[in-house]
Amino acid sequence: MLKSFYVEGQSFLHRTPVRIKLIALFIAGIVLVPLKSIMLLGLAFAVALGLYASVGLPVKEALSRLSSMVILILLVAVLVWLTESAMMAVAVFLRLLALVLLAASVTATTTINAFIEEITRLLMPLERIGLVNAADISLAFGLVLRFVPEVAARYQAIRDAHTARGLKMQPLTVLGPLIILTLKDAETIALAIDARGFRRS
């Protein structure tokens, strides 16, 4: 069974309607991307961190969910530092981390079904004029959200298997099995979708 990032709770974000959260996340992205003030970006980071802390995740799990993204953001910040300046690197780090924390807070407080239903509603005007298929896009979005934690869990299982056998972790020995297992899952889900007639021609 595929996992989900959703966490049961009664926090402020849990009680906030899905549409409001998605719109707020969209606006945050528009506002934070061009912002260069370290002070304002630091404030945005503090707010995002507070929201993420309010979700109710255990500290270890909360950190593990973000660890890979934080490493990637650090690498980007170091690259900006080497090519631009230290201040620019700090701004990039705070900006990206704030956005990641906000996105993680939204996904942790919203069920997959709620995401799919809301995205379908938001895309209905575009479907009426023939630009998109709202149901297909929302289904694809939901599957992506479902697959992210599943792929992470499979990676952890493969890494644990390597450790148990005393093998050295190498990209090829991990990526090979991970890609094969993910493709098998994707094929199984695609067959199930077709069998139930969820996709329309």
Summarize pLDDT for 7-49 with one digit per residue, the tens: 888 888 889 998 899 899 989 999 998 988 999 999 999 999 9
Residues 21 and 104 in one domain: yes
| pLDDT for 96 beyond 80 | yes
Q: Are 149 and 1 in contact (CB under 8 A)?
A: no
Q: Is residue 159 part of a domain?
A: yes
Per-residue pLDDT, averaged over 148-164, amounts to: 74
Split at pLDDT 50, 70, 90, the class of 2 is: very low
* Whole-number pLDDT of residue 171: 66
Distance, in Å, from the CA atom of 106 to the CA atom of 179, rounded to the nearest integer, reads 28
Residues 126 and 178 in one domain: yes
Number of H helices, E strands in the chain: 8, 0
Residues 37 and 93 in one domain: yes
Residues 21 and 102 in one domain: yes
- Which of 59, 83, 110 lies at the terminal end of a domain, its last residue? 110
| pLDDT for 123 beyond 70 | yes
**Number of domains the chain is built from:** 2
Residues 190 and 135 in one domain: yes
Domain residue limits at 173: 114-195
Q: Which of 179, 129, 190, 125 is nearest to 155 (CA)?
A: 179
User: Which tokens in the block code for residue 151?
Assistant: 């792929």
What does the CA dihedral 112, 115, 119, 120 come to, rounded to 10 degrees?
Answer: 50
Q: Which of 24, 52, 25, 28 is nearest to 109 (CA)?
A: 52
Residues 89 and 151 in one domain: no
pTM of the predicted model, to two decimals? 0.70
Q: To the nearest whole number, what is the mean pLDDT of the chain? A: 81
Distance, in Å, from the CA atom of 23 to the CA atom of 50, rounded to the nearest integer, reads 19
- Which of 110, 136, 151 lies at the terminal end of a domain, its last residue? 110
**Residue type present at position 117:** E
Distance, in Å, from the CA atom of 9 to the CA atom of 21, rounded to the nearest integer, reads 16
For 137, half-sphere exposure in the C-beta direction (CA atoms, 13 angstrom radius) is 13
Most confident stretch, 2-11, 69-78, 111-120: 69-78
* Whole-number pLDDT of residue 3: 47
Q: How many CB atoms lie within 10 A of CB 134?
A: 19
Q: Are 65 and 148 in contact (CB under 8 A)?
A: no
Per-residue pLDDT, averaged over 165-183, amounts to: 74
Q: Is residue 2 part of a domain?
A: no
> How much of the chain exceeds pLDDT 70, in percent?
83
* Whole-number pLDDT of residue 201: 47
Element (H, E) at 31: helix 18-32
Residues 93 and 173 in one domain: no
Burial letters for 46-81: b for 16+ Cβ neighbours within 10 Å, e otherwise?
A: eebeebbebbebeeeebeebbeebeeebeeebeebb
